[in-house]
């Protein structure tokens, strides 16, 4: 019985060993495979991380290069814009200077034209007077009477009266053409004091001629050039008041407004410039008045 128990126990032990030998290796192999797969996954993950880091480094380098290139491009564009803006400003300044020069030249041509018209009018009047004189002489000769002032046969020529009652011509004053031409020439050459006196003399002796309003206007121009803006305003106002049909009304009103602005009389100056725009459309003075009002930031027409 005891032997049988020992045999049973031994068989059981042997069976256990056999079963254990059959069942034991399977879990160990499974764990080994999982460990190997885990190591493989970790290796893949580390490699992926390394690849991602490399890609990010490359992307960062590319981005930095693009940013630097963009910065350079923006800098160059800014420099180009600055140069372009300066060019535009230079063109605008030169254009304004050219327009001012052209305006001065046109004004000079206009003055010369007015002077020529005045001289033609005088010549026409002189021709008319001469024609009338000739007709009177013809009439007197036809009537058998000697013309006044002729020398009778065998007599002496009649002398003009002298002494009390005799009239003296303005021989001390230069001719109107000489005074006006000298005054305008001296104004253009910057001899303001001399030009001022010559235009004053012109108005003194020839204040009723066609060019009197021009002489008055140039007195204002002389004062304006010398920065005597109050006197300039007074001279321009005389043109507007005393010569309502003058060709200088538009420039006189424009320069009056400019002089008021120079004195800080902004309200009065803007009002005069708006009057130029309203009264003289299509003229050079209107263009200059609009440009000045635009610079001041105000509308060309009163609200």
* pLDDT per position as a tens digit, 237-266: 999 999 999 999 999 999 999 999 999 999
pLDDT of residue 168: 38
How far apart CA 16 and CA 70 sit, in angstroms, is 79
**Token pair listed for 199:** 């235009």
What pLDDT score does 266 carry?
95
User: Domain limits of the chain?
Assistant: 174-303
Q: Distance (Å, rounded) from C-alpha 292 to C-alpha 276?
A: 11
> In CATH, which of 3.30.450.40, 2.30.30.240, 1.25.40.10, 1.10.510.10 is domain 174-303?
1.25.40.10
State which residues of the chain have pLDDT below 70. 1-28, 60, 62, 67, 70-72, 74-75, 78, 86-115, 117-129, 131-132, 134-172
* Cα within 13 Å of Cα(192), Cβ side: 10
CA separation for the pair 216, 209 (Å, rounded):
12
Q: What is the pLDDT of residue 245?
A: 93
pLDDT at 108: 61
Number of helices (H) and strands (E), helices first, in the chain?
A: 9, 0
Secondary structure (3-state) at 106? helix
């Amino acid at each position: 019985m005891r032997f049988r128990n020992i045999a049973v126990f031994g068989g059981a032990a042997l069976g256990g060993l056999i079963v254990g030998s059959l069942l034991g290796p399977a879990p160990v192999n499974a764990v080994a495979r999982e460990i190997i797969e885990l190591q493989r996954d970790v290796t893949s993950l580390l490699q992926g991380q390394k690849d991602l880091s490399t890609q990010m480094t490359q992307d960062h380098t590319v981005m930095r290069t693009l940013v630097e290139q963009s910065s350079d491009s923006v800098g160059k564009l800014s420099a180009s814009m600055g140069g372009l803006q300066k060019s535009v400003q230079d063109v605008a300044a030169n254009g304004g200077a050219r327009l001012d020069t052209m305006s001065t030249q046109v004004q000079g041509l206009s003055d010369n034209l007015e002077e020529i018209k005045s001289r033609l009018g005088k010549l026409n009047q002189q021709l008319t007077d001469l024609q009338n004189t000739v007709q009177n002489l013809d009439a007197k000769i036809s009537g058998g009477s000697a013309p006044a002032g002729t020398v009778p046969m065998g007599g002496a020529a009649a002398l003009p009266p002298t002494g009390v009652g005799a009239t003296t011509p303005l021989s001390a004053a230069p001719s109107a053409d000489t005074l006006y031409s000298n005054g305008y020439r001296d104004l253009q050459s910057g001899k303001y004091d001399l030009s001022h006196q010559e235009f004053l003399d012109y108005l003194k002796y020839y204040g009723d001629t066609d060019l009197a309003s021009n002489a008055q206007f140039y007195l204002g121009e002389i004062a304006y050039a010398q920065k005597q803006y109050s006197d300039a305003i007074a001279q321009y106002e005389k043109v507007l008041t005393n010569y309502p049909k003058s060709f200088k009304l538009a420039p006189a009103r424009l320069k009056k407004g400019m002089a008021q602005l120079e004195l800080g009389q902004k309200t009065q100056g803007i009002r005069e410039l708006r009057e130029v725009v309203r009264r003289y459309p299509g003229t050079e003075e209107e263009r200059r008045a609009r440009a000045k009002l635009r610079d001041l930031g105000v509308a060309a027409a009163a609200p």
